[in-house]
Chain A
Amino acid sequence: MPRRDDIRKILLIGSGPIVIGQACEFDYSGTQGAKALREEGYEVILVNSNPATIMTDPQFAERTYVEPLIPEVVERILEREQPDALLPTLGGQTALNLALELHRRGVLERLGVELIGAKVEAIRKAEERELFKSAMEKIGLESARAHTVRTMEEAWAAVEDIGYPVILRPSLTMGGSGGGVANDRDEFDRAIRWAFNQSPVHECLVEESLLGWKEYELEVIRDKADNFAVICTIENFDPMGVHTGDSVTVAPAMTLTDREYQRMRDAGRKIITEIGVDTGGSNIQFAVDPETGRLIVIEMNPRVSRSSALASKATGYPIAKVAAKLAVGYTLDELRNDITGTSSAFEPTIDYVVTKWPRFAFEKFRGSDPRLTTQMKSVGEAMAIGKTFKESVQKAARSLEVGRDGLVSLLEKIDYRELRDQVRRLAKDPSAGLHLMPLTEPLEVSRAELQEAILEVVKTPLSDRLWYICDGLRVGLSIEQLQEATGVDSWFLDQLEQIVSEEEVIRGAETLEAAQLDRWKRMGFSDARIAQLRGAEVEEVRRARSEEKVEPIYARVDTCAAEFAALTPYLYSTWGERSESEPTGRKKVMILGGGPNRIGQGIEFDYCCVHAAFAMKELGYESIMVNCTPETVSTDYDTSDRLYFEPLTFEDVMAIVREENPDGVIVQFGGQTPLKLAVPLAKAGVPILGTSADAIDRAEDRERFDAILEKLGLSRPQGGIAKGMSDAIEVAERIGYPVVVRPSYVLGGRAMEIVYTREELEQYMAKALEAVEDADTQTILVDEFLKDAAEVDVDAISDGKRVVIGGVMQHIEEAGVHSGDSSMVLPAHALPPEVQGAIRSSTRALALELGVVGLMNVQFAVKGSRVYVIEVNPRASRTVPFIGKATGLPLANIAAKVMAGKTLEELGVTREVVPRHVAVKESVFPFHKFPGVDTILGPEMRSTGEVMGVGADFPEAFLKALWSASYDLPREGRVFLSVRDDDKQAACELGYRLRDMGFELLATRGTKEALARNGVEAEVVNKVLEGSPHIVDRLQAGDVVMVINTTEGAKAIQDSRSLRRETLMSGIPYFTTIGAATAAVAAVERMREPELEVCSLQEYHARTR
Chain B
Amino acid sequence: MTRAHLVLADGTHFEGIAIGAEGETVGEVVFTTGMTGYQEVLTDPSYCGQIVTMTAPQMGNTGVNDEDPEAEAPAVAGFVVHELARRASNWRMTETLEAYLARHGIVAIAGIDTRALTRHIRDHGAQMAAIGTGELEALKEKARTAPPMTGRDLTGEVTAKAPYEWTEGTGRWGEEPAKEKRFRVVAYDLGIKRNILRCLVDAGCEVTVVPSSTSAEDILAREPDGVFLSNGPGDPAAVGHAIETVKGLVGKKPLFGICLGHQLLSLALGASTYKLKFGHRGLNQPVKDLATGRIEITTQNHGFAVDPKSLPDAAELTHVHLNDNTCMGIAAPSLDAFSVQYHPEAAAGPHDSRYLFERFTDAMEKRG
Chain A interface residues toward B at CB < 8 A = 225-230, 233, 252-259, 261-263, 265-266, 289-293, 331-333, 342-343, 345-353, 387-389, 479, 489-491, 494, 498, 555, 560-565, 576-578, 580
Contact = CB atoms under 8 A, between A and B. Distances in A.
B288 A333 contact: yes
Given A257-B68, A388-B57, A564 B297 contact: no
Contact of B56 (A257, A349, A563): A349
Contacts, number: 169
A258 B68 contact: yes
A914 to B, nearest CB: 55
A345 B295 contact: yes
B119 A351 contact: no
B89 interface: yes
Contacts of A332: 295
Q: Which of A263, A266, A292, A351 has the most CB of B within 10 A?
A: A351
Interface string B75-89: 000000011011111
A225 B293 contact: yes
A257 B87 contact: no
B284 A491 contact: no
Contacts of A564: 122, 323
Contact of A561 (B33, B88, B351): B33
A580 to B, nearest CB: 8
B40 A347 contact: no
A253 B350 CA distance: 15
A563 B35 CA distance: 13
Given A265-B350, A346-B297, A578-B115, 15 more contacts: A225-B295, A254-B61, A255-B89, A257-B62, A259-B67, A292-B91, A345-B322, A347-B284, A349-B55, A350-B35, A351-B114, A388-B82, A479-B87, A562-B118, A576-B116
Contacts of A253: 36
Contact of B122 (A256, A289, A563): A563
B154 to A, nearest CB: 24
Nearest 3 CB-CB pairings of A with B: A258-B37, A258-B348, A576-B113
A352 B57 contact: yes
B310 interface: no
B322 A577 contact: no
Contacts of B91: 289-293
Contacts of B37: 257-258
Nearest to A223: B295
A388 B58 contact: yes
Contacts of A479: 87
Given A291-B91, A388-B82, A491-B88, A257 B284 contact: no
A491 B58 CA distance: 11
30 contacts: A225-B295, A227-B294, A227-B295, A254-B61, A255-B61, A256-B36, A258-B40, A258-B68, A259-B67, A265-B350, A265-B351, A290-B91, A331-B295, A333-B286, A345-B295, A346-B322, A347-B350, A349-B55, A351-B33, A388-B57, A490-B87, A494-B85, A494-B86, A498-B86, A560-B284, A561-B55, A561-B118, A562-B115, A565-B122, A578-B119
Q: Which of B90, B294, B295, B297 has the most CB of A within 10 A?
A: B295
Contacts of A292: 91
A349 B33 contact: yes
Interface string B160-182: 00000000000001000000000
A491 B61 contact: yes
B95 to A, nearest CB: 13
Interface string B1-40: 0000000000000100000000000000001011111011
B158 interface: no
Contacts of B350: 230, 262, 265, 347
Contacts of A290: 91
SS class, residues of chain A in contact with chain B: loop
Interface string B56-78: 11100110010110000000000
Interface residues of B, number: 56
Interface string B306-326: 000000000000000011100
Given A346-B286, A388-B58, A351 B90 contact: no
A562 B281 CA distance: 12
B173 A263 contact: yes
Contacts of A562: 55, 115, 118-119, 122
Interface in B262-287: 282-286
Contacts of B55: 349, 351, 561-563
A387 B286 contact: no
Contacts of B234: none
Interface string B103-135: 000000000011110110010000000000000
Contacts of A489: 89
A905 to B, nearest CB: 49
B346 interface: yes
A353 B59 CA distance: 12
B116 A351 contact: no
Contacts of A342: 322-324
B69 to A, nearest CB: 12
Given A262-B350, A388-B57, A333 B115 contact: no
B92 interface: yes
Nearest to A227: B295
Interface string B199-241: 0000000000000000000000000000000000000000000
Contacts of A228: 297, 352
Contacts of A266: 351
B319 to A, nearest CB: 13
B303 interface: no
Given A252-B35, A257-B68, A258-B349, A491 B322 contact: no
A262 B293 CA distance: 23
A292 B68 CA distance: 16
Nearest to B88: A491
A491 B294 contact: no
Contacts of A225: 293-295
A308 B24 CA distance: 45
Contact of A560 (B33, B113, B116): B33
A333 B322 contact: yes
Contact of A257 (B14, B92, B294, B297): B92
Contacts of B346: 262
Given A257-B36, A258-B36, A561-B56, A346 B284 contact: yes
Q: Which of A254, A388, A561, A577 has the most CB of B within 10 A?
A: A561
A562 to B, nearest CB: 4
Contacts of B187: none
A342 B321 CA distance: 11
Q: Which of A291, A387, A563, A580 has the most CB of B within 10 A?
A: A563
Contacts of A261: 36
B56 A351 contact: yes
Contacts of A226: 294
A491 B82 contact: no
B87 to A, nearest CB: 4
Given A258-B347, A262-B351, A387 B82 contact: yes
Contacts of B40: 258
A805 B180 CA distance: 83
Q: Which of B55, B87, B115, B348 has the most CB of A within 10 A?
A: B115
Contact of B35 (A289, A349, A387): A349
Nearest to B89: A491
Contacts of A347: 283-284, 297, 350
A823 to B, nearest CB: 49
B285 to A, nearest CB: 7
A259 B68 contact: yes
A349 B284 contact: yes
Contact of A346 (B285, B347, B349): B285
A349 B350 CA distance: 13
Given A225-B293, A562-B115, A353 B57 contact: yes
Nearest to B83: A388
Contacts of A387: 57, 82-83
A972 to B, nearest CB: 58
A289 B91 CA distance: 9
